[in-house]
Chain A
């Protein structure tokens, strides 16, 4: 029998793959990879199907009205607002240490930063240079990254001070601590319990604000009344003090643990997007907050107000009204 060409031998194998896949004839070794590709090609999708499903989905999507959100693009309910001496230096640090991406920088005529926004992971951090009206307010932040050890070392190399080296915590996180050049404390963590694909625990984002109030129980109670907060988790010491709690506010989590030892209250500024800034402002005052700024239309597109909670944290209540269609 004359020897078949390679193209004919390959076709014989393909014919078998398509009609009787259990008895594919042996082929020359040089053809084996091609037969494997041919086997995969049996699952090639139909182009008409792909196009039809796409137009079905487009039709369905076009019927859904775009969600008008009261948040600016990329923002969640809670965003930390860092007020520091040397905001430009801190931005450089965040880029080097955490791979932050600078999204916005609004300088003042004297070169200091009036307002800046960076993105770390999926979270936005806002920051500004301190001034007499807004003195520095260093805070605590909880940062989840894929490799806490590597980020810790990058942070130290970028000028951070170590507050604790990476350790395996009993709650399943690999965790380290640093203080950035602006004086903010960062808990740098990798969540291990859910496997390497999910280094951020369920419900959290890359960056979460962490408070150490004196009287965490009272603060949680206030947050419930003022901002409809819900308690997501609470771990108490045998004496009943809150060692760690997670409070859900809007779509975000705020973490806290009762002040102790080195971890003392650091009043924090928080940008809080709400569906209705005016209503949120009234509710907060009724719950015992102090007014800092009455609701007003800010030039950058927010309806904005500000209140202080009984622990001294400032809440910048905002509703992004620029995209909201007026009736």
Chain B
């Protein structure tokens, strides 16, 4: 337990050092982006209608974060919480066109259960990158490009049954790597 706490303090400290480094030299911002992209995107995607809006808002949040980074002050609130608040405000600004449901996204930014779900999705998105290449390709074509099994089968020169198997194994793999969080 004590060791776990030390680890999280060390993690917090390295996060803080990276933020301070990026505050001094904005070129280090890319590292903050890599660490937080999936979370911010997952946070936004839950509350907007389509991919274009999610991308637009994610882009807005990171541009804003880069511009406002010198004003970020460490007060025990993690950097990602600052990004979530920015994301929630950006969603609210487009409220009338983009909301999937009548839930104030600013409440998500404070809600543990909502944030746990966001974290879990962000982990899922990262895990997709670590899948074997053929499984990963099927997942991306199916869910991002929204291609049919037949289209994917034709493109890859395989049977529809084989593509369904790959899809099945990929998702099973993701479930195993998520450690039962979705079970």
Give chain A's interface residues, CB within 8 Å of chain B: 5-8, 10-11, 14-15, 18, 33-34, 36-38, 40-47, 49-50, 53-54, 56-58, 60-62, 64, 66-67, 69, 73-74, 99, 101, 119, 122, 144, 146, 195, 197-202, 204-205
Contact = CB atoms under 8 A, between A and B. Distances in A.
A8 B164 CA distance: 6
B111 to A, nearest CB: 12
A10 B121 contact: no
B75 A200 contact: yes
Contacts of A200: 75-76
A36 B164 CA distance: 17
Contacts of A197: 76-77, 81
A40 B121 contact: yes
Main secondary structure of the interface of B (DSSP, over half): helix
A66 B27 CA distance: 8
A201 B17 CA distance: 21
A44 B140 contact: yes
B33 A57 contact: yes
Nearest to A17: B143
Interface residues of B, number: 62
B146 interface: yes
B167 to A, nearest CB: 6
Given A11-B164, A43-B121, A204 B75 contact: yes
B164 A58 contact: no
Q: Which of B13, B25, B110, B144 has the most CB of A within 10 A?
A: B144
Nearest to B146: A18
B27 A61 contact: yes
Nearest to B174: A37
Nearest to A66: B25
25 contacts: A8-B164, A18-B146, A37-B171, A37-B178, A41-B139, A44-B144, A46-B51, A46-B55, A50-B37, A53-B37, A54-B33, A57-B30, A58-B29, A60-B63, A61-B27, A62-B27, A64-B26, A66-B26, A67-B23, A69-B24, A195-B110, A197-B81, A198-B76, A200-B75, A204-B75
A7 B169 CA distance: 8
Given A41-B171, A44-B139, A197-B77, 17 more contacts: A33-B182, A36-B182, A37-B124, A37-B171, A44-B143, A45-B125, A45-B144, A46-B144, A47-B144, A56-B63, A57-B33, A57-B66, A58-B30, A61-B30, A67-B23, A67-B25, A67-B70
Interface of B: 6, 9, 13, 16-17, 20, 23-27, 29-30, 33-34, 37-38, 41-42, 45-46, 51, 54-55, 58-59, 62-63, 66, 70, 73-77, 81, 110, 120-121, 124-125, 128, 139-140, 142-144, 146, 148-149, 161, 164-165, 167-168, 171-172, 174-175, 178, 182-183
A74 B13 CA distance: 11
A99 B10 CA distance: 10
A202 B77 CA distance: 11
A198 B82 CA distance: 12
A37 B121 CA distance: 9
Contacts of A44: 124-125, 128, 139-140, 143-144
A11 B16 contact: no
Nearest to B55: A49
A44 B42 CA distance: 8
A43 B74 CA distance: 31
Contacts of A49: 55, 58
Given A41-B139, A45-B125, A33 B175 contact: yes
B76 A144 contact: yes
Contacts of A14: 142, 167
Nearest to B32: A57
B164 A53 contact: no
A146 B76 contact: yes
Contacts of A61: 26-27, 29-30, 66
Contacts of B183: 33
A189 to B, nearest CB: 12
